[in-house]
């Protein structure tokens, strides 16, 4: 990493510390549903540094390596207890950074993010350094591309806290030393990466046109697994669906009304999720339940549970192929329970659908994702207005129905039913048989026969139905 125009330039001293801002941009805060009142920070080790053009390993057993394009500030002059007006003077260089992290390792260190964010190569910087004295800190822009597609873009005008405030705040707690790096947060649009993906990050000054050039990092698949005897392992991978393919196929062609009738015959009346409607007409869902619970918003609880890799994000990161994420929102339509980024994550994971008895924000964008979503309707507010994301993979109440992880969920234009897994095959077979019977009865009615004795069938019509193949 060198100064512009000097391939053999001095670069930077090895930093004594790398300090990263948890939440830097308003757009990012809107994604998470929480807007911090003050900046907060975490540390990354100097061994995580890497240069442009390098590779980063996605650790074995993980799927949630994410990129976060950021503006990095390199300290040039020691600073302790400086004010905002003097803060920019301690910065020597500005460059691009990629704050990489592994989602499955977030929970293990209780907020420090050491294992999640501290891996070798998890802090690429560069490629060029911009003279901080020659750029406008209020006019800097950061952009991120994944495989050539622009996924993140914002300017320092979108920061929750000005760069000078961040520097002054840090300096009242510790000494910023020459070579230290401050990562200033990432805007909305962080993406999950897979081996073979190439990430590019660039920072430029909109006032002068000066640019760092693109910081390039390629993802590779790691080959050395973690040793379970040494410490906590990544969160376990999402479980496979328990619904066998044959039963799933039968349920996929069975109307919910027919399934409801069969469940009623077996004494199950309270198996309907009432209220949610398909976001896109014609949507249909068949899958096994994965659950997420929201509780009513309480400000202190939201402060403790609403940020970071909270229960909402964990649920969307964990939902597996063929599963339906069922969200308990208490029938509260006054705030969203998901938006387009979360819908994209569930879709990428192969989820069969999403059912929520709450609202959806960015409704048109969610509908465009292609994953079936049943909800109470659109609402522009983020979940913090009404909800605290509380827990996952537990028994929940959604639309007046009790749903347990592993329950079978089937939804169409008529509504949503919850089928106990042990009954799924039996109910599917019975419902399809009843559908055939009802279709034959409809044919007889169209032929002019009276309904008495036909609907429902008495012994005479039942005998004719049994001989239907012979009469053709």
Mean pLDDT of 380-385: 90
Distance (Å, rounded) from C-alpha 308 to C-alpha 399?
Answer: 28
Note whether 444 and 411 are same-domain residues.
no
Mean pLDDT of 467-471: 70
Note whether 368 and 438 are same-domain residues.
no
Is 84 within the bounds of a domain? yes
Is 291 within the bounds of a domain? yes
Is 234 within the bounds of a domain? no
The pLDDT of residue 351 is 95
Note whether 264 and 307 are same-domain residues.
yes
Domain boundary among 221, 237, 262: 221
Is 230 within the bounds of a domain? no
Note whether 156 and 284 are same-domain residues.
no
CATH no. for residue 126? 3.90.850.10
How sure is the predictor about 469, in pLDDT bands with cuts at 50, 70 and 90? low
3-state secondary structure of 350: coil
More confident residue, 464 or 217: 217
Average pLDDT value over all residues in the chain: 90
- Using omega within 30 degrees of 0 as the cis cutoff, is the peptide bond preceding 127 cis? yes
Mean pLDDT of 95-114: 86
pLDDT at residue 108 tops 80:
no
Mean pLDDT of 192-197: 91
Note whether 254 and 211 are same-domain residues.
no
pLDDT at residue 9 tops 50:
no
pLDDT at residue 1 tops 70:
no
Report the range out of 9-23, 58-72, 121-135, 443-457 with the highest average pLDDT: 121-135
**388-402, pLDDT tens digit by residue?**
999 999 999 999 999
133: domain range? Answer: 18-221
Is 2 within the bounds of a domain? no
Note whether 348 and 455 are same-domain residues.
no
Note whether 186 and 291 are same-domain residues.
no
Note whether 215 and 359 are same-domain residues.
no
pLDDT at residue 472 tops 60:
no
DSSP tag of 49: E
Distance (Å, rounded) from C-alpha 354 to C-alpha 372?
Answer: 6
Region of poorest pLDDT, from 203-217, 226-240, 247-261, 317-331: 226-240
Note whether 333 and 217 are same-domain residues.
no
Note whether 270 and 342 are same-domain residues.
yes
Which residues lie below 8 Å from residue 285, measured CB to CB, with a gap of 6+? Answer: 324, 352, 353, 355, 372, 374, 409, 410, 411, 412, 416
Is 1 within the bounds of a domain? no
CATH no. for residue 251? 3.50.30.40
**228-255, pLDDT tens digit by residue?**
788 877 765 444 446 888 999 999 999 9
Looking at the structure of the chain, the number of domains it has is 3
Note whether 43 and 130 are same-domain residues.
yes
Q: What is the largest CA-CA distance in the chain?
A: 98
Is 138 within the bounds of a domain? yes
Note whether 255 and 355 are same-domain residues.
yes
Is 200 within the bounds of a domain? yes
């Amino acid at each position: 990493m060198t100064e512009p125009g000097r391939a053999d330039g001095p670069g930077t001293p090895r930093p004594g510390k790398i300090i990263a801002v948890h939440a830097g941009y308003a757009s990012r805060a809107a994604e998470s549903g929480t807007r911090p009142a003050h900046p907060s920070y975490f540390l990354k080790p100097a061994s995580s540094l890497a240069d442009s053009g390098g590779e980063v390993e996605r650790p074995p057993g993980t799927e949630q390596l994410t990129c976060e394009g950021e503006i990095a500030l390199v300290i040039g002059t020691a600073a302790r207890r400086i004010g905002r007006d003097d803060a920019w003077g301690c910065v020597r260089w500005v460059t691009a950074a990629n704050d990489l992290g592994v989602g499955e390792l977030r929970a293990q260190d209780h907020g420090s993010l050491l294992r999640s964010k501290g891996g070798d190569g998890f802090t690429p910087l560069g490629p060029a350094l911009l003279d901080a004295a020659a750029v406008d800190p209020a006019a800097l822009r950061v952009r991120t591309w994944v495989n050539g597609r622009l996924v993140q873009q914002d300017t320092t005008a979108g920061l929750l806290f000005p760069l000078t405030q961040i520097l002054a705040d840090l300096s009242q707690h510790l000494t910023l030393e020459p070579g230290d790096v401050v990562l200033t947060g990432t805007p909305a649009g962080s993406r999950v990466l897979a081996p073979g993906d190439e990430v590019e990050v660039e920072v430029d000054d909109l006032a002068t046109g000066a640019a760092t050039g693109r910081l390039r990092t390629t993802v590779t698949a790691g080959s050395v697994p973690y040793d379970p005897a040494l410490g906590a392992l990544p969160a376990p991978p999402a479980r496979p669906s328990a619904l066998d393919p044959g039963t799933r196929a039968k349920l996929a062609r069975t109307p919910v009304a027919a399934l409801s009738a069969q469940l009623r015959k077996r004494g199950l009346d309270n198996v309907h999720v009432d209220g949610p409607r398909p976001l896109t007409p014609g949507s249909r869902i068949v899958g096994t339940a994965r659950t997420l619970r929201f509780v009513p918003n309480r400000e202190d609880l939201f402060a403790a549970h609403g940020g970071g890799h909270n229960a909402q994000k964990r649920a969307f990161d964990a939902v597996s192929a063929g599963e339906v994420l069922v969200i308990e929102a208490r029938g509260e339509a006054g705030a969203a329970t998901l938006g387009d980024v979360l819908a994209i994550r569930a879709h990428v994971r192969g989820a069969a659908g999403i059912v929520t008895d709450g609202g959806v924000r960015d409704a048109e964008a969610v509908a465009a994702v292609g994953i079936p979503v049943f909800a109470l309707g659109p609402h522009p507010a983020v979940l913090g207005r009404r909800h605290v994301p509380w827990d996952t993979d537990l028994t929940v109440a959604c639309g007046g129905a009790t749903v347990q992880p592993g329950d079978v969920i089937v939804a169409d234009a008529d509504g949503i039913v919850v089928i106990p897994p042990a009954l799924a095959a039996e109910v599917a077979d019975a419902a399809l048989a009843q559908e055939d019977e009802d279709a034959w009865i409809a044919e007889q009615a169209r032929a002019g026969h009276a309904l008495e004795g036909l609907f429902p069938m008495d012994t005479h019509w039942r005998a004719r139905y049994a001989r239907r193949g012979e009469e053709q």
